[in-house]
């Protein structure tokens, strides 16, 4: 897996580079601000870009701006945005712009190499990955109407885990059922949400997007 790493804090960037190298990833470029992130991505054409949400010049939403530009200029390049804060609105903005091949994780989560590499692999495969803390924050909001009322409690549980980027096998282990049972739940979720088996669309991503939108 070829990766560009972007963070204006040298210590953080070096730590990510080390974790990725130890996991067998090839870091093909490093960047410290919006312009250098876009330049390194265009020159090196990585499989995925890992970038901080706040970088120079304004330290506000450069990561989201870069993600949108990368999605428009280099479709198929994955983007993992890292943040030190729980910001559901930013996560939804990222997913709304390009729902496939993107992820939004808290920085504390990626200190676990296995979590980081698993997230990157799913993003490269076209999935979307959202930090469990943000999923929980969104789900915990009160709503007058819920477009997912058609789903059972178990189906909601499965969809919430899919939103975290878990595979069917990982979901099965989490809720202590067989993988075939998870596949059955997932199929019913797709049917109830009206997600047809269109070969040009990723139904898992669309289901996750519908789930997260329902919580905003």
Query: Is this structure's pTM higher than 0.95?
Result: no
Q: CA 93 to CA 67: how far, in whole Å?
A: 10
2-136, CATH topology level: Rossmann fold (3.40.50)
Question: Measured between alpha carbons, how far is 87 from 84 in angstroms, rounded to an integer?
Answer: 9
Higher model confidence: residue 29 or residue 111? 29
pLDDT of 161: 87
Q: Tokens for 68?
A: 């949108």
For residues 81 and 92, give the distance between their C-alpha atoms in angstroms, rounded to a whole number: 12
Q: How far apart are CA 194 and CA 59, in angstroms?
A: 40
Largest distance between two CA atoms of the chain: 49
pLDDT of the residue at 200? 45
pLDDT tens figures, 119-138: 999 899 988 888 888 877 76
pLDDT at 203 over 80: no
Beta-ladder partners of 30: 5
What is the pLDDT at residue 93? 84
The reply to whether 142-214 shares the fold of 2-136 is no
- Token digits for 63? 């990561």
Distance, CA of 67 to CA of 73 (rounded, Å): 10
Whether the CB-CB separation of 118 and 154 falls below 8 Å is answered with: no
77: which 2 tokens? 């390049």
CATH topology of domain 142-214: Arc Repressor Mutant, subunit A (1.10.10)
Question: What tokens were used for 46?
Answer: 């990585």
Tens digits of residue pLDDT in 39-90? 999 999 999 999 999 999 999 899 999 999 999 999 899 999 999 888 878 8
The domain segmentation of the chain, as residue ranges, is 2-136, 142-214
* φ, ψ (nearest 5 deg) of residue 149: -60, -20
Q: Which of 130, 74, 76 is nearest to 101 (CA)?
A: 76
pLDDT at 40: 97
Whether the CA torsion 45, 49, 55, 61 is positive or negative: it is positive
CA–CA gap between residue 144 and residue 130 (Å, rounded): 24
State how far the alpha carbon of 30 is from the alpha carbons of 26, 104, 124, in Å: 11, 19, 19
């Amino acid at each position: 897996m070829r990766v560009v790493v972007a963070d204006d804090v040298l210590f953080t960037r070096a730590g990510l580079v080390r974790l990725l190298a130890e996991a067998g990833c090839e870091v093909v470029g490093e960047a410290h601000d919006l312009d250098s992130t876009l330049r390194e991505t265009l020159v090196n054409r990585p499989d995925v870009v890992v970038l901080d949400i706040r970088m120079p010049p304004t330290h506000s939403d450069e990561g989201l701006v870069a993600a949108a530009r990368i999605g428009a200029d280099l479709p198929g390049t994955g983007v993992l945005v890292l943040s030190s804060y729980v910001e559901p609105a930013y996560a939804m903005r990222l997913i709304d712009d390009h729902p496939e091949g993107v992820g939004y994780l808290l920085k504390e989560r990626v200190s676990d190499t296995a979590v980081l590499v698993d997230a990157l692999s799913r993003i490269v495969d076209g999935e979307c990955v959202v930090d469990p803390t943000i999923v929980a924050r969104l789900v915990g909001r009160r709503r007058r109407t819920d477009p997912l009322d058609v789903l059972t409690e178990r189906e909601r549980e499965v969809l919430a885990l899919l939103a975290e980027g878990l595979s069917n096998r990982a979901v099965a282990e989490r809720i202590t059922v067989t993988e075939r049972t998870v596949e059955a739940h997932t199929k019913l979720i797709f049917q109830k949400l009206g997600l047809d088996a269109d070969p040009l669309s990723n139904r898992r991503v669309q289901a996750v997007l519908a789930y997260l939108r329902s919580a905003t």
